[in-house]
Amino acid sequence: MNKDNKNLEINPIQLQILIEIAIQSIFFRDYALKENQPEIADKYEKIREIIMEILKQKREQNIEPEIDNSFFNLMYKLEMTTDEVRRIQEEYKI
């Protein structure tokens, strides 16, 4: 693996991106369910599962996220949080 790929592999900012994707997939899944679109909801759930597995692997590599809380602050102001999102935030100390 060349040096640039190795640096990207351990870059903590990618954890924030993955966490945000996981959280957005939760909201999209829930919205699809609300709109009676279970097939679309299933696709977002699959995305969430894949991303959470990647996050688990990164955690096992002892990579901690560099968190910019602006995304999460906006969620709180818009009252867009759920128990599932709070669990992710607690797990990653956001």
Half-sphere exposure of 42 (CA within 13 A, CB side): 3
pTM for this model (two decimals): 0.69
Other beta carbons within 10 angstroms of residue 72's beta carbon come to 19
Query: For position 84, what pLDDT does the model report?
Result: 79
Nearest to 22 by CA among 79, 71, 78: 71
Query: For position 82, what pLDDT does the model report?
Result: 74
Taking each helix axis from N to C terminus, what angle separates 38-60 and 13-34, rounded to the nearest 10 degrees?
A: 160
Domain boundaries, the chain: 13-91
Dig out the tokens for 63 from the structure: 């990579």
Intervals of the chain under pLDDT 70: 1-10, 63-81, 92-94
Query: For position 32, what pLDDT does the model report?
Result: 96
Residues 76, 27: Cα–Cα separation, whole Å: 14
Query: For position 50, what pLDDT does the model report?
Result: 96
